[in-house]
């Protein structure tokens, strides 16, 4: 099965998670039937060598005007977050502003998110890992404006916990509002896309290397086994190993 046919087996929306303009534009131009949006964050941007935050945004938004893309605030105080959120939101109508679920002192941002949501700022609440965090944000919302709740399922799994039951519970608890989307974040392997879909998530973020593995969806396992054996054989041969 080819990448472009993935939507034939699932209707979950896939967002590319990247801070590489080359990757972002490649998927935007060539995989529009697969990609429904984009996300990034300061860590990805730092690792990709981004020096100018606003210039990076403007370069992307000069071409991508019809799909949602999330950019994150980096202030740690709530007033600073609000100021930055307004600036980021004003750069493009398709911008979702990432607001961390708490600041570095553990102070909840739910009131700020509610305020921004009422003012028409499209928010993506990020780094969520508990049902209690979701409930606090959800209870504070009283607007019909769109909002994304990003649950870091991959990081939850990194602690030895299965994130699927939590994601299912979260999706069931927020499904009464059409304006609220649950996003499965920090995807670690291709299987996570299908787990996100079966959990009821609306969106899943996926990196470029994982997206390229979609060509293996539905592949015959005997054929995959043979290709793996061939890879080991050829690598040992070209390396000149002997026993």
Of 37 and 175, more confident = 37
Q: What rounded mean pLDDT belongs to the chain?
A: 94
Q: What per-residue confidence (pLDDT) applies to 175? A: 77
CA angle 39, 41, 42 (to 5 degrees): 160
Distance CA 19, CA 40 (A): 6
Known catalytic residues? Answer: 98
Length of the chain: 243
Distance CA 137, CA 115 (A): 11
Task: Name the residue ranges covered by the structural domains of the chain.
Answer: 3-215
pLDDT in tens, 127-176: 999 999 999 999 999 999 999 999 999 999 999 999 999 999 999 999 77
Question: Which of 136, 129, 176 shows the shortest CA–CA distance to 153?
Answer: 129
* Element containing residue 184 per DSSP (H, E): strand 180-184
Confidence check: pLDDT of 3 > 50: no
The CB density around residue 216, as the number of other CB atoms within 10 Å, is 12
Q: 3-state DSSP call for residue 211?
A: helix
Least confident of 8-12, 110-114, 147-151: 8-12
Distance CA 132, CA 126 (A): 14
d(CA 118, CA 116): 5
The CA distances from residue 170 to 55, 101, 146, 166, 180, in Å, are: 36, 15, 17, 6, 11
**What are 62-100's pLDDT values in tens digits?**
999 999 999 999 999 999 999 999 999 999 999 999 999
What number does CATH give the domain 3-215? 3.20.20.70
Spacing of C-alpha 197 from chain mean position: 14
Supply the pTM of this predicted model: 0.92
**Sequence-distant (≥ 6) Cβ neighbours of residue 160 within 8 angstroms:** none
Express as a percent the part of the chain with pLDDT over 90: 88
Residue ranges of E strands in 26-103: 35-39, 69-72, 95-100
CA 68 centroid distance within chain: 11
């Amino acid at each position: 099965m080819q990448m472009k046919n993935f939507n034939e087996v699932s209707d979950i929306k896939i967002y590319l998670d990247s801070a590489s303009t080359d990757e972002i534009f490649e998927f935007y131009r060539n995989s529009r039937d697969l990609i429904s949006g984009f996300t990034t964050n300061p860590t990805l941007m730092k690792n990709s060598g981004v020096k100018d935050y606003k210039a990076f945004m403007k370069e992307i938004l000069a071409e991508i005007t019809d799909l949602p893309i999330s950019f994150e605030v980096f202030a740690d105080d709530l007033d600073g977050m609000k100021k930055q959120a307004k600036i980021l939101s004003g750069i493009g109508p398709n911008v979702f502003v990432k607001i961390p679920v708490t600041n570095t002192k553990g102070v909840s941002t739910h009131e700020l998110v509610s305020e921004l949501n009422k003012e028409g700022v499209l928010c993506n609440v990020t780094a969520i890992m508990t049902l209690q965090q979701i409930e606090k944000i959800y209870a504070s919302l009283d607007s019909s404006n769109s909002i994304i709740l990003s649950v870091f399922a991959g990081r939850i799994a990194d602690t030895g916990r299965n994130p699927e039951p939590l994601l299912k519970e979260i999706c069931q608890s927020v499904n009464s509002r059409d304006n609220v989307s649950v996003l499965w974040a920090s995807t670690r392997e291709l299987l996570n896309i299908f787990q996100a879909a079966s959990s009821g998530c609306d969106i899943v973020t996926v990196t470029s290397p994982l997206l390229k593995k979609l060509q293996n969806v539905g592949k015959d396992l005997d054929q995959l086994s043979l290709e793996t054996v061939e890879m080991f054989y050829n690598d040992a041969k070209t390396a000149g190993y002997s026993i």
